[in-house]
Structure 1
């Protein structure tokens, strides 16, 4: 029995770029669906059920940041943002809206395929372990690797793949201070250069989601000049 190809939803209003990325993904065995209008994006995510979304920042009718936030309200599908804006602030806005990665235009189609492969590997959470244990708990937080779920006070909260990996790294070693570099290595396995502000942005989102379920109890503590720890 053949294995179904992983599905990539490409939301990009420039047909030349969209078709080029689709062709390169096809060469690596991926199935792709193209959407050129922001107004059709959410319905396409719901109906196509992609394994990864490639999302352009500038789209007609509905912009990429708005679409990203709405996707995050119902799905943890990995999202790679495409942007022509090279300013770091614009990149951080994409991360804060829930994107897992970004690629700046102009880019090579091979780079986009490599990023897709990377986020899919990370979202699979293929952690090497000598035990069959798939659940990690600390205080009122429980992570289940098989189901990719996070419970806080027995209430499910939605985490992006990056947020999940950040929390998992810390929950395995509570009270240990993790440097930003160490956390970057847990989140990105392709040796890219990622700024401290990128990790800080993801961590801010994660802390907000956790405290929202715990009457503002601060589980994650920032250690000035070093990094973060679970307390």
Structure 2
């Protein structure tokens, strides 16, 4: 089974005329959550769908991503769009916040300027990669104690940037 399907929470119900135990075992084995054979009553199908949707809703609520990303000296609240640095509120534009949140959520991963444009500004944004340089400089001025020696957003020479989580 492909890796992306193995971790999906989307409920899958197979409806089939094949009634043998082998067919049911194969269907459930390849990832189905339920197996209904024909003929079936509409009431039974609706009940099975509702049961799967209840299970899906329960799993979705449990797997909600963390809404606050914390590092020593920096706290990013994804739900409230707020940032606190060294105990003070940091005022950021929407794009500055999105760039910071994206990089912090992917701590340690190195991104090229093109990748940051694609992931934060979107495919439709046609822009100069210098946009990233300007935004990183602004972010450093706002979140770093000493922007010339950044703790959080590090330059990876010749490649791009990475969020380092506050280590020196």
- Cα deviation, residue 130, structure 1: 3.8
- Cα deviation, residue 225, structure 1: 1.7
- Cα deviation, residue 138, structure 1: 2.1
Residue number among 112, 116, 119 corresponding to 1:179 in the alignment: 112
- Cα deviation, residue 204, structure 1: 0.8
TM-score (norm: length of structure 2): 0.55
Matched length? 101
- Cα deviation, residue 187, structure 1: 2.0
Partner residue in 1 for 2:32: none
Structure having greater relative contact order (Cα 8 Å, sep ≥ 6) = 2
Q: Distance in 2 between matches of 1:181 and 1:130?
A: 30
> 5+ residue gaps in structure 1?
1-128
**Native 8 Å contact 1:165 1:186 kept in 2:** no
- Cα deviation, residue 177, structure 1: 0.8
Residue number among 137, 140, 144 corresponding to 1:207 in the alignment: 140
Q: Give yes or no for the alignment of 1:150 onto 2:80.
A: no
SS at match of 1:150: strand
Query: After the TM superposition, which segments of 4 or more aligned residues of structure 1 sit over 4 Å from their partners?
Result: none
**Native 8 Å contact 2:107 2:162 kept in 1:** yes
Please list the CA deviations of residues 44-73 of structure 1 after superposition, one character each: whole Å capped at 9, or x if unmatched: xxxxxxxxxxxxxxxxxxxxxxxxxxxxxx
Residue number among 101, 124, 145 corresponding to 1:191 in the alignment: 124
Residue number among 127, 141, 161 corresponding to 1:228 in the alignment: 161
Partner residue in 1 for 2:73: 140
Q: Distance in 2 between matches of 1:162 and 1:220?
A: 16
> CA RMSD for the aligned pairs?
1.9
Larger of the two Rg values belongs to structure: 2
SS at match of 1:191: coil
Q: Distance in 2 between matches of 1:146 and 1:192?
A: 24
Partner residue in 2 for 1:170: 103
Please list the CA deviations of residues 123-160 of structure 1 after superposition, one character each: whole Å capped at 9, or x if unmatched: xxxxxx94152111122111111211001112111011
TM-score (norm: length of structure 1): 0.40
